[in-house]
Chain A
């Protein structure tokens, strides 16, 4: 009599195993096959083409009725197994039992459901089987949200977009597919998806799925709401081990199997995504097919050993070409070889350890992926070809990557010289007309004839036209790039670059993650350019701006709450005194900006102290920021016998409008009520000196390493107009100055006359500048202390672990 084999789960792994078994010994086993889905084995990997409409279900069926009949398989489809009785070797479904001599558990994996309110609403699906796929196909013309920007989530998103849905992808991490891709490749992928109309929201944590009878929208922790007729959760999978658990088999993350794929019970085997082998679980198909081969042999009594090999990942989204393989984690002593071709959207990165490749990431051009993968798998010594390795097997002495590619790719209408409104096309015409020196181009187009900061870019445009004769290119903003600050800023604008990885990729950065000099600058340029879209990157900020306090030489911090216009109250002073005592502040000092500094605060105390100060109504004074610091005032005509205007009131108004704003460098204001100038307004970045007839606005002062007296910008009889001019000049400075230039330095480059023309004479321009300032402030007029002292953020300020405690035991 034939022995009885029962298989739980008709997926790809068990299907392959049965094929191997029937090929080798057609009559060895009587097979009973249970499956929870009401159908047999189909190619789950092909669900994405079904979703996108490139294939139909019939085309992806692996085993049809005829196949099962030919091999006399007793099919129990749509009949989930509910219990395994190991003692009597029986499995039970709700319709009866089946005896076994050998049992194979192939229950696969279950999608991970994030535990948020609304997760059980109709309209919330995973991406696992044909039912899910059908639900997603039905979203055509509707709103869909995919939670999870990994492999599966992106395939779901692309598929629904191809069917005509409006799709948003919400991803918890900073960039897509962070397990397979680094930030640069993640950026390219995001860009390609956005080109297909998919909205991508990174660093997005889902708070709830909203809806009464069914899903209607998704709410994020940051308050964003996306409409959703359908929500697809694709945040990950975990091995489906419930049956094995109930049967008391050994289970860790997955069902534990040995090299022969036997579980802790010698009559029970397991394979596929539900198993754990030597601490590893599996999600890709290649190792599962290897398991199928091994298990078929085991069942036929032959010796076989399962040994997993490294596998590569490819995304199955038509038009998004990416390849990722190997290991990017662990181990010091690794080096990177990076190749970027901004013009063609190509990024390649090899991770080397000694003379071997240990990791490969490619985007845009993955033709050499298999070759690199082969070198990696074989552990080939690449030292001989290291210099040219990144160019692939076909390399025959080809050219080095072209840093001018970004400039060459600009359209003719792209503006090169902002002062004089000269486009790339105009410069090219001038060159074609015979102007082949910078002076000649300047003379006939006025490009770079005003502030001169675009000289480098003008020369690069000329170089593109003249064929590579670059002379006197100014030094780059740092060692990571040849582009100057001004050029980077213009290119961010002209090319619509909206993230740090985007800038680094498109402008051909020479390093992997920039440096301490360019990252804060890029972060500022991006948030100034795209206040609503760009999210401030804390990790690209200098310590003081990241921690919202000033670091002192011993690693403690100083805390300065805001005092609007230098005015405080007994209650605020009491709260400051309480905080100073509670946290043992060693020094309390009055600052030059008319407020109080608490010096020597330990990092882990910061969020607690902030919460206390917040409770008393105080916010961060931003005494650490390249942004609005203080507005120093005198008492003005309210009290002073010689005061001419309400200088205190104006100072408070300005501070309430401008607090929280980021600027290229620190921005200090002063408002004096009369020319005696008690608020020292004439050495501030922007000052107001009140007179009987109105308000004298002065700019460009400094009292630091450089001491500068301000110069007059405008005189106006109206307080309201004074405020408008000050906001406009601040915005003009934000939009145009180089990072870390104070106003006086910027003014030296563009000229006071130009600034006056923009914000004093041109009323329409003033109005739009103020409008843009206010748009930005709608995001940044917000207290960072309140955001960083929440119950979830507070623990992050303390050490991660304290090993001294364990050592003492």
Chain B
């Protein structure tokens, strides 16, 4: 079972926007969709390292601000002809608070 940690209020993120959370495993982009779903993705495009948190959010997709790679926030998978994937982390909203996977508090085994 996933253990979650509270990182802030849903109101802290604009709809169709994102905020960054610093973690032991690097920066994580936490997105909020137009219908108030949240997604947590590694804040680093596999193409040239662009900050996905600064991308335009459309539906459950985000477009990297540097070279327009598009990622499905559900899976982290690059769309269309581009190949690549960003790490995703469990995230949810509960009582107006945003919770993300608590394993982000720890350094990953590989690190």
Contact = CB atoms under 8 A, between A and B. Distances in A.
Given A183-B34, A800-B7, A807-B107, A332 B74 contact: yes
B70 interface: yes
A328 B107 CA distance: 32
A332 B5 CA distance: 17
A807 B75 CA distance: 27
B105 A516 contact: no
Contacts of B35: 182-183, 328-329
B22 A804 contact: yes
Given A331-B92, A334-B74, A542-B56, A803 B61 contact: no
Interface size class of A (residues with CB under 8 A): 35 or more
Nearest to B51: A555
Interface in B64-92: 65-66, 68, 70, 73-75, 88, 92
A183 B37 CA distance: 13
B19 A800 contact: yes
B32 to A, nearest CB: 10
Interface in A533-578: 538-543, 546-547, 551, 553-555
A513 interface: yes
A551 B65 contact: yes
Interface string B1-39: 000010110001111110111111001001001111111
B92 A330 contact: yes
Q: Which of B7, B59, B66, B93 is the most central at the interface, judged by chain A CB atoms within 10 Å of its CB?
A: B59
B94 to A, nearest CB: 8
A334 B92 CA distance: 13
A803 B88 contact: no
A123 interface: no
Interface size class of B (residues with CB under 8 A): 35 or more
Contacts of A546: 54
A801 B23 CA distance: 8
A156 to B, nearest CB: 24
A600 B83 CA distance: 29
B46 interface: no
Contact of A516 (B8, B39, B70, B104): B70
Given A330-B92, A332-B74, A807-B24, A516 B68 contact: yes
B13 A330 contact: no
A511 B19 CA distance: 24
B54 A800 contact: no
A332 B93 contact: no
Given A174-B15, A515-B61, A515-B63, A543 B54 contact: yes
A554 B51 CA distance: 8
A332 B88 CA distance: 10
A546 B20 CA distance: 16
29 contacts: A182-B34, A329-B35, A329-B36, A330-B37, A330-B93, A332-B73, A332-B74, A332-B88, A333-B74, A334-B37, A336-B59, A513-B33, A515-B70, A516-B63, A538-B17, A539-B16, A539-B17, A542-B56, A551-B54, A554-B49, A799-B19, A799-B21, A800-B12, A800-B30, A802-B22, A803-B5, A804-B22, A807-B23, A807-B107
